[in-house]
Structure 1
Amino acid sequence: MKVRQSLPSKGISRMYKGYLIDLDGTMYNGTAVIDGAVDFIDRLNKESIPYVFLTNNATKTQVEAAQKLLDMGFNIHPETLYTSAMATAAYLSETAPGASIYVIGSDSLKETLEASGLTITEDDADYVVMGLDPDINYGKLSKAALMINSGSTFIATNPDRKFPTEKGFVPGNGSLVSVLVSATDVEPVIIGKPEGIILEAAVAALDLPKDEVLMVGDNYDTDILTGINGGVDTLHVNTGVTSREEVEGKTHRPTYMIDNLKEWSVR
């Protein structure tokens, strides 16, 4: 593979002792498994190389996210999943245990937050937490805006503007968060990639130094910047959000770039 701007080609790679792996656009697009993804995980399993699926998707619980992979033919364990919903719950449990929260998001996000001892409310919340909500409407956005303008702290599970499905790209949480930012002039605390909050938790789960870990993903603004900002090497796969041409034009480029995970040797 020929890559401009000094990006290493396939075959030029270090051997990493652990992996952080994105889901949407890297393992699958919507309900369609990406070619080479199952084989990549099988090779990691065969070599007993540990990995954590690090996803900004906050619509599913850990078990639900794992079940999707299992149903697609991936040989994985639920504990390998770490979602932005889990990171949000951990962050709030540590910084504001027992806090009241108004949630825009899926029932699974609410379940994850409640399981951490947080109290979900519809009025006068300490925090407004926003994740991707398939049933978003004006009423929910209005209620959140009023709370934020009255002093509730604004939390966004992730900043993804869009994500790939089997039919094409659709709006992500970041696109909807921007509505509240416009209405309140308040920027949220972002928990998911590319912020360090979720990265540090995932690296700790691997129990490896950062220089022995590789971050794998398709979205430059989340996956790749997570590694660049956090001191972890990165592998961009051209199967999702950010195209090869866009990556090649970046000032700060990933450590590696490939078209398909079949090109990557784990040993």
Structure 2
Amino acid sequence: MIRLLLDLDGVLVRDKALNPFPDTSDFLNFLRRKGVPFKVVSNNSTKPPREMIESLKGKGIFLEEEKFVSPLSILPHYLRRNGIYRLFVIGTPNLKSYLEGGGFQVVENHAVQAVIIGQDRNLDFNKIKTATSAVFLSNAKILPVNLSRIVKDDDGLYFPGAGAIARMLVHACNYKEDVPNLGKPSEEFINYAIEDMPGEETYLVSDDIYTDLVGAKNLGIKTIFMTTGKYRKEELSKANFCPDFIFESLKDLRDFLETLPR
């Protein structure tokens, strides 16, 4: 039996407003009817998992909470395991409240143990200065919620992902430690996602060649590239990457799954 990890952005929803593709609900219902184990995975750092579930529900996508995994599902466990409690956060107010609710201290100065980096549409000079000073002066850890290089916005334009901001701090501060990847498709993320899932073979379905599919293939996971998101098929040759399968719609993916043995 196979199990599916379905990327949210670019596979099930078309934009940051979480507007679903026309065939998203039918596809998820098909998986339920056929008993195909699946989880929806996302590198979204703007909302905690429970709020994401509610936002998706408002768009007509109904998911049980245990069916959704994001880096924010993993981040609190990682911080506690490493004894990190005082934080400077580049991210949304929702992210800050989520961490404070988990028992962490979020402050607006550089005297911290770690700099948490999520998506922040109000990123400015002072935030970058505080983050840089935290790493350079306080030996703070650099902890992006994911290593996304680039993110497509709703207007079709692009901006640097959390991973790109983290790499900027690494370069500026001559940071020598490893920067962990708490997002997909890191080993920590994948193991967390499939921990309670039946099935022998994992398929990651994603529109992101560089962040998701290359990393997944390195872990021995089957890769399915969807052309419905931020990269066109022509990008594969630029990336020198060959996924296991390529589909142009969820209907095509459904037709493929119908051919697989249960």
TM-score by length of 2: 0.86
Q: What is the Cα deviation at residue 190 of structure 1? A: 2.6
Offset from partner CA, 1:123-176 (integer Å, 9 cap, x none) = 411111111112211111100100101211111111223223442133132343
CA distance in 2, matches of 1:64, 1:246: 33
Look up the SS of the partner of 1:194 in the other structure.
Answer: coil
In structure 2, the partner of 1:101 is 87
Q: What is the Cα deviation at residue 115 of structure 1? A: 3.8
Q: What is the Cα deviation at residue 259 of structure 1? A: 0.9
| 2:215 partner letter | T
Residues 205 and 103 of structure 1, relative CA distance in 2, 3 Å threshold: farther
CA distance in 1, matches of 2:9, 2:181: 19
The answer to whether the Cα contact below 8 Å between 1:29 and 1:240 also exists between their aligned partners in 2 is yes
Structure 2 residue runs of 5 or longer lacking an equivalent are none
Identity of aligned pairs, percent?
24
In structure 2, the partner of 1:158 is 146
The answer to whether the Cα contact below 8 Å between 2:136 and 2:173 also exists between their aligned partners in 1 is yes
Look up the SS of the partner of 1:201 in the other structure.
Answer: helix
The answer to whether the Cα contact below 8 Å between 2:206 and 2:213 also exists between their aligned partners in 1 is yes
CA distance in 2, matches of 1:200, 1:169: 33
TM-score by length of 1: 0.84
In structure 1, the partner of 2:229 is 240
Residues 35 and 244 of structure 1, relative CA distance in 2, 3 Å threshold: farther
| 2:8 partner letter | L
Equivalent residues in 2 for 1:190-205, closer than 5 Å? 190-205=181-196
In structure 1, the partner of 2:134 is 147
1:63 aligns with 2:50: yes
1:22 aligns with 2:7: yes
Look up the SS of the partner of 1:102 in the other structure.
Answer: strand
The answer to whether the Cα contact below 8 Å between 2:210 and 2:239 also exists between their aligned partners in 1 is no
Residues 76 and 216 of structure 1, relative CA distance in 2, 3 Å threshold: same
Structure 1 residue runs of 5 or longer lacking an equivalent are 1-15
Equivalent residues in 2 for 1:51-200, closer than 5 Å? 51-96=38-83, 99-123=85-109, 124-150=111-137, 151-171=139-159, 172-186=161-175, 188-200=179-191
